[in-house]
Structure 1
């Protein structure tokens, strides 16, 4: 068994049993204590576990989701690469949905296709797009979530049901075997409706979101068509995407070449 497969298996065990010891890893996978310790170090580096004396446990608190302005400053270079790649998929005349995530905002900044119609619940996205010519903007009205700068509620979901679009660009907090997950239910309900209204669902997520499961499940992997990320995921996750017929697009040309070599 490759290390990547062991790591996934260890996390699955932890999700059920909450803790694991070095001796258990040695017994379960037939590896040495040194190999077991290296696995725990790797999982800690990925922020998947907390190492303890003789083993590891799951973190007791979910990963903090920063407010919108602070999220704009996190891995901004990666988000720009992903946003630029996503914008390159947009054609003149497309009808689009853009959600309120900061990675999708990076896509909005790079859109230069004329005659597009864009539906969004993000006041930031609407402001950016209003400065571009030949783009029609539908801003969905509802209650304003001030910290994360999006509109939500029953009126937003109802209005979305009237639109049918070519592509939806969606950001997430986590992307794993448990599907697409985010931190806040009210945001997730809106994203779920956005996904249902699009012919093609495109997920924008930097490498730190891969393998993460957060609080609220938005959709299953088989409900998305394309994932755009900045680094090639490890093979077990690529296999998971293939299993659910999800295409993978990496925003760096160097990474794309490496993906070809590894597949």
Structure 2
């Protein structure tokens, strides 16, 4: 196999799995470690990858997070399946926290006639749940982030500290060995405090979030009890979840 053919294969692997190791290149393409390293050097020269110790990852795109209304209109089928599965974990009598992410919004949309209490700082979550007769809603007041339609600030955090809940459902932009990350610090600070007030923390994240590290780390994997995602993880990330005792629920297994 020519080097250019391997390079195409390496890039495809990275698109599917977010990262690749020298060992994986050797095994997948039946080449030596020196050949694998030369392939990575060429990709790095082209700025197609970022070298890491023992392998490579895709460079961060740092795409601007689209506004919440746009993201609500384009919620993927993967996020809908994750939200539907998350909704099955909410039961009568539960006291829960829902954050502002669109995947968590999908969870709220799939909630049935459940007699429960929901605490949220999302205007959209509150509006959606207001149509559900038996849901008691506590909307956390604070400064309005107009573009993404959530409330934040010290008043939100101080009010959060008054509540003790059964479950917190949290969305992320990135999950990696660095923990849970997000683009906006103010949103991350609220998420961190939401997690601290819950007996069980449930993270909703489609497969594209794994291997991504965004600007602000708001929690470690040790703070997470369950992650619901849409596809099985590769060995590296499955082991990372096991090492931190995170239960993984994969929705594609149910289809």
Instruction: Say if 2:129 is the partner of 1:124.
Output: no
Structure-1 separation of matches of 2:209 and 2:174: 5
The corresponding residue for 2:80 is: 80
Quick one: structure 1 residues 75 and 130, their matched pair in 2 at CA, closer, same or farther if it must change by over 3 Å?
closer
Structure-1 separation of matches of 2:122 and 2:194: 13
The answer to whether the Cα contact below 8 Å between 1:82 and 1:230 also exists between their aligned partners in 2 is: yes
Equivalent residue pairs, number: 228
Alignment gaps of 5+ in structure 2: 1-12, 26-30, 51-57
Q: 1:202-253 CA distances to partner (integer Å, 9 max, x unpaired)?
A: 0000111111100000100010000000111111101000000000001123
Instruction: Say if 2:92 is the partner of 1:95.
Output: no
Q: How does 1:179-218 map to 2 (within 5 A)?
A: 179-218=179-218
Instruction: Say if 2:136 is the partner of 1:106.
Output: no
Alignment gaps of 5+ in structure 1: 11-21, 23-28, 42-49, 256-263
Structure-1 separation of matches of 2:153 and 2:120: 14
The answer to whether the Cα contact below 8 Å between 1:204 and 1:227 also exists between their aligned partners in 2 is: yes
1:31 equivalent among 27, 33, 57: 33
The corresponding residue for 1:62 is: 62
Q: 1:63-92 CA distances to partner (integer Å, 9 max, x unpaired)?
A: 321111222244521111000000011111
The corresponding residue for 1:155 is: 155
The corresponding residue for 1:245 is: 245
Quick one: structure 1 residues 200 and 55, their matched pair in 2 at CA, closer, same or farther if it must change by over 3 Å?
closer
Task: With the length of structure 2 as denominator, give the TM-score of the two structures.
Answer: 0.80
SS at match of 1:252: helix
> Aligned-residue CA RMSD in angstroms?
2.9
Structure-2 separation of matches of 1:114 and 1:125: 15
How far the C-alpha of 1:59 sits from its partner, in A, is: 3.5
Quick one: structure 1 residues 113 and 239, their matched pair in 2 at CA, closer, same or farther if it must change by over 3 Å?
farther
The corresponding residue for 1:231 is: 231
